[in-house]
Structure 1
Amino acid sequence: MRMRILLLGADSLMGQAVLRLAAAEEIAIDAVERPAQGWKAEQLKDWFTEYQPDAVVNLAFYHQHFQLGSNDGDNLALQRKFGKELIALSKQADSLLFLLSSARVFDGLKTTAYTEKDALAPGDALGQLHVDMEKQLKDHCARHVMLRLGWVLDGSPDGQLVGLLQQLRNGEPMLLAEEWRGNPTPVNDAARVVLAILKQLDCDAPLYGTYHYGSSEASSWISFVKSLAQELLATKQLDSVPTIRSVPFDQQLDSAWEPQNAVLSSRRLLMAFGIKPRAWRAQLPELLASVSHDSQAE
Structure 2
Amino acid sequence: MRMRVLLLGAESSLGQALLAQAAAEFIQLEAVERPDQGWQPEMADQLLAGAKPDLVLNLAFYREQFQLGVADTPTLQQQKNFDERLIHGCAANAVTLVMLSSARVFDGDKASSYTEKDEVNPTGSLGRLQAQLEQSLRTQCPRHLILRFGWLLDGAAEAPLARLVAGLQVNAPLELAEEWRGNPTPVGDAARVLLSVLKQLDCAAPLFGTYHYGSSEATTWISFAHCVVQELIGRGTLTGDVAIQPVSFASRPELRGQPQNAALMGRKLLMVFGIKPRSWRSQLPALLDELTG
Q: So what's the TM-score if we normalise by structure 1? A: 0.96
1:105 corresponds in structure 2 to 105
Matched AA of 1:82: F
1:96–1:144 Cα contact (<8 Å) kept: yes
| Worse overlay, 223-232 or 248-257 | 248-257
1:220 corresponds in structure 2 to 220
Alignment of 1:1-298 (within 5 A): 1-293=1-293
Cα distance in 2 for partners of 1:248, 1:169 equals 22
Give the secondary structure class of the aligned counterpart of 2:169. helix
Q: How far apart are 1:254 and its partner, in Å?
A: 4.3
Matched AA of 1:215: S
Cα distance in 1 for partners of 2:146, 2:271 equals 16
Can you give the 5+ residue segments of structure 2 that lack an aligned partner in the other structure?
Answer: none
Matched AA of 1:122: P
Cα distance in 2 for partners of 1:200, 1:152 equals 23
Cα distance in 1 for partners of 2:174, 2:256 equals 16
The RMSD of aligned alpha carbons is: 1.0
Give the secondary structure class of the aligned counterpart of 1:45. helix
Q: How far apart are 1:253 and its partner, in Å?
A: 4.6
Matched AA of 2:282: A
Can you give the 5+ residue segments of structure 1 that lack an aligned partner in the other structure?
Answer: 294-298
Cα distance in 2 for partners of 1:266, 1:134 equals 18
Cα distance in 1 for partners of 2:292, 2:145 equals 32
Matched AA of 1:61: F
Cα distance in 1 for partners of 2:254, 2:281 equals 21
Matched AA of 2:94: D
Q: How far apart are 1:243 and its partner, in Å?
A: 0.7
Give the secondary structure class of the aligned counterpart of 1:170. coil
Q: Count matched residues.
A: 293
What percentage of residue pairs aligned between the two structures are identical? 52
Cα distance in 1 for partners of 2:178, 2:249 equals 7
Matched AA of 2:53: P
Deviations 1:257-296 (A, max 9, x none): 3100000000000000000000001100000001144xxx
Cα distance in 1 for partners of 2:97, 2:288 equals 32
1:296 corresponds in structure 2 to none
| Worse overlay, 53-62 or 39-48 | 39-48
Cα distance in 1 for partners of 2:128, 2:249 equals 22
Cα distance in 1 for partners of 2:252, 2:272 equals 36
Any runs of at least 4 consecutive aligned residues in structure 1 with deviations exceeding 3 A, and if so which? none
2:150–2:185 Cα contact (<8 Å) kept: yes
1:175–1:252 Cα contact (<8 Å) kept: no
Give the secondary structure class of the aligned counterpart of 2:262. coil
Cα distance in 2 for partners of 1:69, 1:277 equals 24
Matched AA of 1:52: K
2:125–2:257 Cα contact (<8 Å) kept: no
